[in-house]
Amino acid sequence: MEGINFYNLKIAAFRGIQKGFNVTYELAKTVVPVYFLITILKYSGILSIISKFFEPVMKLVGLPGEASLIFVIGNVLNLYPTIAAIAALHLTTKQVTIIATMLLLSHNLFVETAVSKKSGVAIGYLVLLRLTAALFSGFLLNIVL
The full set of domain ranges for the chain reads 11-144
> Model-level pTM?
0.77
Q: How confident is the model over 113-135, as pLDDT tens digits?
A: 888 888 888 888 999 999 999 99
| CA–CA dist 21, 135 (Å, integer) | 36
pLDDT band at 1; cut points 50, 70, 90: very low
Q: How confident is the model over 64-117, as pLDDT tens digits?
A: 998 998 998 888 888 888 888 898 888 999 999 999 999 999 988 888 888 888
